[in-house]
Structure 1
């Protein structure tokens, strides 16, 4: 067994809990709950306690961390040391690595702080919120004894790995054209406009927060990073000019999502996550957020076209108030094509034909590859990614290049940033120039 590494978690978010803290603590049995608020997550196969331990939590919300530690104590677990000051934690605890799962605009400070101390970083995507910040992280990493790993977990989904294998094997020749039409359903989409994501200063816009996730996946499939990008964006569904704007009792979004947990039941209700923990500092109960607020300054619909050095052309579009969730993918190569539909309805039912990869040879037969989603978060992607991060990459991971590098993560951010810039200037943006 490798030595157990010591990790500090920066930002006790729901994602941080689900993806890292609970698996590292070995709280993997969903039935392990108590009346006092204990919780479980995942499956026994996702127990990372043999590889890692959480030695500190850094957060601006002391009350949320206290609530979490009380839940641990209810399970007979020791509380995790809490630090409000990041530098104090780094000097006091001296972790082997930090895990950054805080709001996107804070990633940069945590990454740079760790790298200054030659400490490794695992950060949620997006790595940062602007191309300029990504450029600075790459420079800091080159000057540091620490490294930066970004959790682009979409690469790990079973269907996505199969698409990569087909391309890597030369099944369709050189990739010439890729089209991804992405949809975020009205429940999931509305949730972004009820959180900090709705402000560009905090998230970089959904072009960076959400689509950098997709851009990384597309770049990984194509096997290159793009040269140039052009795009448009608009705010069609949310904000003060929404055509659906109404009081809560008549609001179609609220009525469509009652019981889903996306909207608090009352304006004055404290915000809680899927584990029942609250956000008293980030989302005070006396300052409710709503999807029609004037402070919303990001887009909910956008499209982009990108060009790659090897000749491939990408067309990408997304909206955040759809009747379904998922995407249609078409990859055309010099010797054939790959098509994939992945989707579900708002109520969670799989769309007919979902997760069937159609492979057509240009001068040959057409076949269908059936793919079964694996157990675990994001269609089985999260457990595989965590194994790579904490136990070491699998042979498949090495063969497919599953672990995203900091440079690949920087290009994903730069594409989102370029999409925003292009939408404003109506001009194409050179990606290598953005990253110097």
Structure 2
């Protein structure tokens, strides 16, 4: 029997990650029965892309109750802008419906608490689609930890690098406003914190961090002109902007990927969704998030995380080391090799027993988004978890809350210059200090 799905937020992510696979790969298991969005144009774009949805009912942002009454879904998929997630998740749980939500589950610890409280009273459950867990390298790391290769985990070093194409994109669109995204310590770093939490099987307790806006905003050193309101497609000084010219020529404009509110393909600004443009200037003064963080996180079983992320690096990827009482593993990833200005090796894992010789572990890589993780995640979502997998990989609301709680604790620590406990954040009672 097919499950019935309604989609809240008809974004590019919704179409590529969920609606397309449901209609094409999992058609015997799924039926899309409702589309809800702030902009009717997105319904049109979605139905043009997927003609089989022509008769699916459409709803506005305040029509959730009516949508549920009329379409009778079994599951709500939440894929709108980050700050809309919590409202639809809570409403779904109040109707005893299951929820699939992209990360981050919410943008604040207070909203995470709302979600967990609603879930405790509901017959429905929340699944957070942390696709990074499913990449073959990442599942192999989990298996090595579970097999005891490292012993008791004592510390983790994770340095994440976002290149000047991807990094700048966050400052061209809605993410650059903290109220929309929670800041990049939540919108992006929640992915990274969840990976560490899952790998080591421990819960975060406390974070201390530093952060800054070093590259973007009006004080960015490469800002060609201090003037708000510019857009790449019409900017008179774009040929003096290194972030633009690195990825564009005079005849080919930078095409920024936007999963949520941007244009499909290369829509002209007048055709964009909701009067929204994904090519705003990365040097605008309205930007109120950071582009650089370093943080230390303490875990409930004694492990310590040393984390950094930088959103303006010449290449994209990460460097990871996990230390334990029996050994250490290391791995380096170069993401999007086509954008890296030098040859990159295939990612492997180096394992160093505490007493013994190094092993290099090669992993079978897969096609698909997020390092080959997306296709396997979708199978778990729409076919049920793989019964042959000996460990849990799908994420629930507590996983989502731990990742967001860590991200908010990092930001609050930056602002308040103090260690911040995760349970403070998730209690929902914090107000930002005026320090």
- TM-score, structure 2 normalization: 0.89
- Separation of aligned partners in 1, 2:290 and 2:3: 40
Kindly indicate whether the alpha-carbon contact (under 8 Å) linking 2:255 and 2:266 is maintained by their aligned counterparts in 1: no
Question: Would you say 1:14 and 2:7 are equivalent positions?
Answer: no
Query: Over aligned residues, Cα RMSD in angstroms?
Result: 2.1
Q: Given the alignment, which residue of 228, 239, 256 partners 2:246?
A: 256
* Residues in 1 aligned to 2:211 and 2:185: alpha-carbon distance in whole angstroms: 9
Which structure 2 residues correspond to residues 183-198 of structure 1 after superposition, within 5 A?
183-198=161-176
Counterpart position of 1:164: 142
State the alpha-carbon separation in 2 of the partners of residues 249 and 260 from structure 1.
Answer: 11
What SS does structure 2 have at the residue aligned with 1:145?
A: coil
Per-residue Cα deviation, 1:255-282 (whole angstroms, up to 9, x for no partner): 1122574359xxxxx9523497997343
Q: Would you say 1:231 and 2:192 are equivalent positions? A: no
Contact 2:244–2:254 (CA under 8 A) maintained in structure 1: no
Q: Deviations over 1:381-408 (max 9, x none)?
A: 01111111110000354x2321112101
Distance across 2 between alignment mates of 1:353 and 1:23: 31
| Residues 160 and 245 (structure 1), Cα distance of their counterparts in 2 relative to 1, 3 Å cut | same
Q: What are the within-5 Å matches in structure 2 for residues 58-77 of structure 1?
A: 58-73=36-51
Moved more, 80-89 or 125-134: 80-89
Once the 2 structures are TM-superposed, how far is the Cα of residue 346 of structure 1 from its aligned partner? 6.6
Question: Alpha-carbon deviation of 1:172?
Answer: 1.1
CA distance in 1, matches of 2:166, 2:102: 19
Corresponding residue SS for 1:134? helix
CA apart distance, 1:130: 0.5
Matches of 2:216 and 2:337, distance apart in 1: 18
Matched-pair contact (CA < 8 Å) for 2:262–2:273: no
Q: 1:371 to 1:210 in 2, by over 3 A?
A: same
Q: Deviations over 1:201-248 (max 9, x none)?
A: 000000000001110000001111111111011001111111111221
Distance 1:384 1:277 in 2: 35
Counterpart secondary structure, 1:122: strand
Give the Cα separation in 1 of the matches to 2:286 and 2:27.
Answer: 42
In structure 1, distance between residues paired with 2:53 and 2:115: 36
CA distance in 1, matches of 2:309, 2:161: 6
CA distance in 2, matches of 1:250, 1:305: 38
Q: Helix, strand or coil for the counterpart of 2:84?
A: helix
For 2:366, which of 374, 391, 397 is the aligned residue? 374
| SS class of match (1:320) | strand
Instruction: Give distance in 2, aligned partners of 1:139 and 1:416.
Output: 20
Determine the structure 1 residue equivalent to 2:35.
Answer: 57
Offset at residue 88 of structure 1 (A): 1.6
Indicate whether 1:216 and 2:194 are aligned.
yes
Distance 1:377 1:277, change over 3 A: farther
SS at match of 1:347: helix
Structure 1 residue 288: deviation in Å? 5.8
After TM superposition, give the deviation of residue 67 of structure 1 in Å: 2.7
Structure 1's 189 and 262: CA in aligned 2 closer, same or farther, altered over 3 A? farther
For residue 206 of structure 1, what is the aligned residue in structure 2? 184
Matched, 1:179 2:157: yes
Contact 2:162 2:310 in 1 (8 A): yes
* Aligned mates of 1:109, 1:271 — CA distance in 2: 22
| C-alpha contact (below 8 Å) 1:186/1:346 kept by paired residues | no
Instruction: State the distance in 2 between where 1:314 and 1:418 align.
Output: 14
**Unaligned 5+ runs, structure 1:** 27-46, 265-269
Q: 1:305, 1:7 → 2: CA distance?
A: 40
For the structure 1 residues 176 and 291, does the alpha-carbon distance in structure 2 shift closer, same or farther, using more than 3 Å as the test?
same
Gapped runs of 5+ residues in structure 2?
225-236, 428-435
Separation in 2, partners of 1:277, 1:156 = 36
> Compared with structure 1, are the counterparts of its residues 19 and 415 closer, same or farther at alpha carbon in structure 2 (3 Å cutoff)?
same
- The alignment partner of 1:160 has SS state of helix
Tell me the residue number matched to 1:413.
Answer: 404
Cα 1:346–1:81 change in 2 (3 A) is same
Q: 1:34-76 deviations in whole A, cap 9, x for unaligned?
A: xxxxxxxxxxxxx111211111110011012113223333xx6
CA deviation map 1:143-196 (0-9, x unaligned): 111111100111000000000100100001111110001000100111111111
Query: Contact 1:70 / 1:79 at 8 angstroms: preserved in 2?
Result: no
Change over 3 Å in CA distance of 1:77–1:62 after alignment to 2: closer
Conserved? CA contact 1:179–1:330, under 8 Å = yes
User: Shift of the alpha carbon at 1:124?
Assistant: 0.5
Count of residues in correspondence between the two structures: 405
State the partner residue of 1:310.
Answer: 301
1:57-136 alignment runs, 5 A limit: 57-73=35-51, 78-84=54-60, 85-136=63-114
Structure 1 Cα separation of the partners of residues 379 and 363 of structure 2: 21
1:341·1:354 contact (CA, 8 Å) conserved in 2?
no
